[in-house]
Copies of this chain bind each other. A is one copy, B any other.
Amino acid sequence: MGKLLIVGTMAFDAIETPFGKTGRILGGAGTFIGLAASQFKIDSAIVSVVGDDFPQSYMDILKNKDIDLSGVEVVKGGKTFFWEGKYHNDLNSRDTLATELNTLADFNPVVPNDYTGADIVMLGNLHPNIQLSVINQMEKRPKLIVLDTMNFWMDNTWDELMAVISKIDVITINDEEARQMTNEYSLVKAAAKIQEMGPKYVVIKKGEHGALLFHKDNIFFAPALPLEEVFDPTGAGDTFAGGFSGYLTEAGNISFESMKNAIIHGSNLASFCVERFGTERMVDLEKSEVDARLVQFKELTQFNIELT
């Protein structure tokens, strides 16, 4: 089986949307990526850090998905990373009310021996130096390194971000961030400029407006599934990344055609994530539900025009 190494936060989230408010619930990029990737027949491991306030029940949720947690450091007396946010009425924007780095501030990732030869590495949104450290621990060059990042690192750690970006294959980034990164409004031009920075594949996430994959002159687009209601967008981008990297790990094929399917699988899984608070929908998500929605994705996008 293919091996996927995931690096990302495991966290407490407190979320408010127009539909309600949570207490401290399970969150974090690593968590969402891991849950999404667990839908595929792969071996996976998460590298992360938590405090000893992180409940065993949360660990068990991931363990029960057969995710290797030997790379999750539990800091004695430490507190787990905490994020609190409130979404605006359209759910397209949010205010961060609190960010407590806690144990994340001194996070020194250690890749488990079993995963230094992983086929694919999925670097969740984190300080670029942490992402780079993981790459440097790999015994051999993975078949594919995927990196997610955000505007915060562009604003505060540009040089470090450029250093890690030069070493990866696929970057996932949202549309506004792609524009900020390149000073190009056109996403076609932005994607071309980002490819010059290193990654041969650029995935631009447009939230409810879908996602674009760019590689040289090739472009592929997947819509977000139109839903009656988006309940909570938290983790949608990470779930997308988990579906994307999980599918490619199972497929063992990183061609552009295979990446198209990966984009669809990522979008499909993200459509479940946003239906409930946090990880709620993902924890018990069944293959039959995932497959049924893939059929919807086909009906949504596939047409039959024969060209003569």
Contact = CB atoms under 8 A, between A and B. Distances in A.
Interface of A: 89-90, 185-189, 206, 209-210, 212, 218-221, 223, 226-230, 257, 260-261, 263-265, 291, 294-295, 298-305, 307
B300 A221 contact: yes
Contact of A186 (B187, B228, B263): B228
**Which of A188, A299, A301, A307: most chain B Cβ within 10 A?**
A301
B298 A305 contact: yes
Nearest to A90: B185
A156 B4 CA distance: 58
Contact of A228 (B90, B188, B227, B295): B188
A226 B212 contact: yes
Contacts of A261: 303-305
The number of times this chain is found in the oligomer is 2
B220 A299 contact: yes
A260 B263 CA distance: 22
A221 B301 contact: yes
Interface residues of A: mostly helix, strand, loop or mixed?
Answer: mixed
A305 B294 contact: yes
The 5 A-B residue pairs with the shortest CB-CB distance, nearest first, are A209-B209, A260-B303, A221-B223, A188-B228, A188-B226
B305 A264 contact: yes
30 contacts: A186-B227, A186-B230, A187-B226, A189-B228, A206-B209, A209-B209, A209-B210, A210-B210, A210-B223, A212-B226, A218-B299, A219-B299, A219-B300, A220-B299, A220-B303, A221-B223, A221-B226, A221-B301, A223-B223, A260-B304, A261-B304, A261-B305, A264-B303, A265-B305, A291-B307, A294-B307, A301-B302, A301-B303, A302-B302, A302-B303
A261 B307 CA distance: 12
A298 B257 CA distance: 13
Given A212-B226, A261-B303, A261-B305, 9 more contacts: A89-B185, A209-B210, A221-B226, A223-B223, A260-B304, A261-B304, A264-B303, A264-B305, A301-B301
A228 B191 CA distance: 10
Contacts of A305: 261, 264-265, 294, 298
